Amino acid sequence: MATALRDISEIDHSKVPDASNMCFGIVVSEWNSVVTNALLKGAVDTLERHGALPENIHVKTVPGSFELIYGAHQMTLNGGYDAIIILGSVIRGETPHFDYICQGVTYGIASLNVKNEIPVVYGLLTTDTMEQALDRAGGKLGNKGDECAVVAIKMAKF
């Protein structure tokens, strides 16, 4: 469902499994950091809300969204994670760069999910404006980081 039709953080938290025995990797892009830091806060807060211990939430940063693929791949190799979350924000500009980055990251994360036993949760915001990104990073449409954390917990239990 399009997020314009509902708050993406409208989650029934009573149906989320306990995460107290789980370990999570989070790879977050430094690009558009006002957005990605808010996504990260939402994800970490939600993981902890469902029992994940702070020492079992490992955060790594990468320069941009395209590098999320490499970061997530490295986390799958280094093991010990029940799920990995990628968080980034690409905002449309005047060139086709937006399309290439969004498509590349999408294919890259899909490939990791097919090839590995650890779920990699897609948390890349692909918006036309900074306002749209902020609306999805703790603004009027909730926080996509929160949603990604819930998905990570559920997929780790899959």
Residue positions annotated with a catalytic role: 97
What is the end-to-end Cα distance of the chain in Å, rounded? Answer: 22
Burial of residue 142 (number of CB atoms within 10 Å: 0-12, 13-18, 19+): buried
d(CA 124, CA 21): 26
Whether 124 contacts 89, CB under 8 Å: yes
The closest alpha carbon to 64, from 25, 30, 27, belongs to 30
Q: How far, CA to CA in Å, does 8 sit from each of 20, 104, 135?
A: 24, 24, 10
User: How far apart, in whole angstroms, are the C-alpha atoms of residue 83 and residue 26?
Assistant: 9
